[in-house]
Amino acid sequence: MVTKGSVGKLSFWAVVVSLAGVVLFIALRPDPVWVDLATVTRGELEVSISEEGKTRVKDRYLVSSPVAGYLHRVPLEVGDRVSPGQLLTEVDPMPSSVLDARSRAEAEARVAAAQSALNSTRQKVAAARAEAELAEKELVRLQSLSADRFVSKDRLEQAESAADRANAILRSARFDEEVMIHELKAARTRLEVSAASSSGNGNVERVGVRSPVEGAVLQMVRKSEGVIQAGEPIVEVGDPAALEVVVDVLSFDAVNLAPGVAVRLSGWGGKVLEAVVRRVEPVGFEDVSALGVEEQRVKVVADIVSPTPDWSTLGDGYRVDATFVLWSGGDVLSVPTSAIFDHLEGKAVFRVEDEVAVLTEVTIGRGNGLDTVITEGLEAGMTVIRHPDRQVEDGARVRER
């Protein structure tokens, strides 16, 4: 028989056992894992590469000296406008060297020797002339006798040959005389014309150095006057309005670029400019980063397509920040890339529902390193765990830090 007292005792102990079970469950269950959370969002996403570049004039012309000589001072400054055919400077012929006492004595001796040689040659000319005249007279005499047949034909031919030979010797002697005259003139010029004795008032044949194009002076390679050799650069000119942008890109990123890729230019002090890739050079080069790491880089050349007034203050060699846009989406679902991890043969995330981690497989699209497009598996507004560690499992309790 159950009495009221026994029923009350049973109820009391039942409550005590229940409370003890609840306390034991709470005490023994695992603590929630502290995690960082992120929200699945829908909006714009862009995949891009950002590097530092600089501007440069497309067509540069290095004007050099056409001849060796004495360069006049260039009356130009960097930035001065030039037009095609404009005279930039002039080059005088190389001035004569100064003759010292020994060189002057030698020059005077050469003049005297040339004069003596000329006198000797003139005597030879006189002798040859006399021989030629005698041969001509003999030929005329024999020709007159030949008409009356007092001279044989052979004798007449010998006289003609002797006359021809005498005239040839005379012509040769006269040529030698002309040579001696020129040599005497050269010796006198060497003696009379020198940097020490030249008055500088004579007419000098100057060579003009002119601009090949319309543009401005970009660099003064040589400004002061002085002796210059043929082919030595003087000034660099080009059109500052025809600018391009050169960016050194890591070879790992350059393989994703091609002509026509859109580029944004910023960080130069003005509004953001639009540009487009014109050429990706096929040859890389080695560069050392600021951290001392050796990198393989490739030069990428881009043309500015924004209106010229927007970048009229840009000049040659200015620094810009270039952003190459590889892909962009206007209304895409994305999550932080740090929330995605490998699972089986695909990708997955931990979705949070009522403070419980739920393993969710997803299909991903393009990513920019910070955010990744989700094509299947999630919806906007859901919450996912960023940087999940080994403590996070499917069904584990989590709590936001």
Query: In total, how many domains does the chain have?
Result: 4
- The residues facing 233 across adjacent strands are 64
Structure tokens given for 115: 């004069």
Q: Are residues 109 and 186 in the same domain?
A: yes
Looking at residue 279, which CATH number applies to its domain?
2.40.30.170
* Domain assignment of residue 336, given as a range: 31-44+331-400
Give the per-residue pLDDT at 18: 74
Q: Are residues 162 and 112 in the same domain?
A: yes
Give the per-residue pLDDT at 289: 84
Of 275, 308, 329, which closes a domain? 329
Q: What's the rounded Cα separation, in Å, for the pair 123 and 319?
A: 81
Q: Could you tell me if residue 2 is inside a domain?
A: no
Query: Rounded to the nearest 5°, which phi and psi values hold at 192?
Result: -85, -35
Q: What is the SS3 assignment for 343?
A: strand
Q: Are residues 272 and 224 in the same domain?
A: no
Give the per-residue pLDDT at 268: 93
Residue with tokens 């082919």: 231
Closest CA to 247 of 321, 325, 327: 321
For residue 113, which amino acid is it?
Answer: A
Question: Cβ neighbours of residue 88 under 8 Å, at least 6 residues apart?
Answer: 63, 74, 76, 82, 209, 210, 211, 234, 235
Q: Are residues 53 and 38 in the same domain?
A: no
Q: Are residues 396 and 363 in the same domain?
A: yes
Looking at residue 386, which CATH number applies to its domain?
2.40.420.20
Give the per-residue pLDDT at 204: 61
Structure tokens given for 373: 């497009």
Q: Is residue 94 within 8 Å of residue 70, measured between CB atoms?
A: yes
Q: Could you tell me if residue 13 is inside a domain?
A: no
Q: What's the rounded Cα separation, in Å, for the pair 321 and 265?
A: 6
User: Vertex 43, ends 40 and 44: CA angle to 5°?
Assistant: 125
Distances from the Cα of 42 to the Cα of 26, 263, 330, 359, angstroms: 39, 24, 9, 21
Q: Is residue 64 within 8 Å of residue 231, measured between CB atoms?
A: yes
Q: Could you tell me if residue 24 is inside a domain?
A: no
Burial 135-172 (b: 16+ CB within 10 A, else e): beebbeebeeeeeeeebeeeeeeebeebbeebbebbee
Angle between helix axes 101-146 and 153-192 (nearest 10 degrees) is 160
Longest Cα–Cα distance in the chain: 199
Q: Are residues 313 and 339 in the same domain?
A: no
Residue 157 parent element (H or E): helix 153-192
Q: Could you tell me if residue 384 is inside a domain?
A: yes
Q: Could you tell me if residue 21 is inside a domain?
A: no
Q: Is residue 239 within 8 Å of residue 264, measured between CB atoms?
A: no
Q: Are residues 109 and 156 in the same domain?
A: yes
Mean pLDDT in order along the chain per 10 residues (401 residues): 60 71 59 90 92 93 90 91 92 71 79 86 86 83 72 77 84 86 82 55 74 91 90 92 94 93 94 95 90 92 94 92 93 93 92 92 91 93 92 89 84
Q: Could you tell me if residue 171 is inside a domain?
A: yes
Q: Is residue 340 within 8 Å of residue 367, measured between CB atoms?
A: no
Residue 319 parent element (H or E): strand 319-336
What letter would DSSP give residue 341? E
Q: What is the SS3 assignment for 252?
A: helix
Residue 287 parent element (H or E): strand 273-288
- Beta strands 346-353; 341-343: pairing state: antiparallel
Looking at residue 169, which CATH number applies to its domain?
1.10.287
Give the per-residue pLDDT at 89: 92
Give the per-residue pLDDT at 95: 62
Q: Are residues 126 and 185 in the same domain?
A: yes
Of 272, 305, 329, which closes a domain? 329
Looking at residue 212, which CATH number applies to its domain?
2.40.50.100
Q: Are residues 182 and 213 in the same domain?
A: no
Q: Could you tell me if residue 8 is inside a domain?
A: no
Give the per-residue pLDDT at 6: 63
Q: Are residues 146 and 182 in the same domain?
A: yes
Q: Are residues 176 and 222 in the same domain?
A: no
Q: Could you tell me if residue 363 is inside a domain?
A: yes
Q: Are residues 134 and 90 in the same domain?
A: no
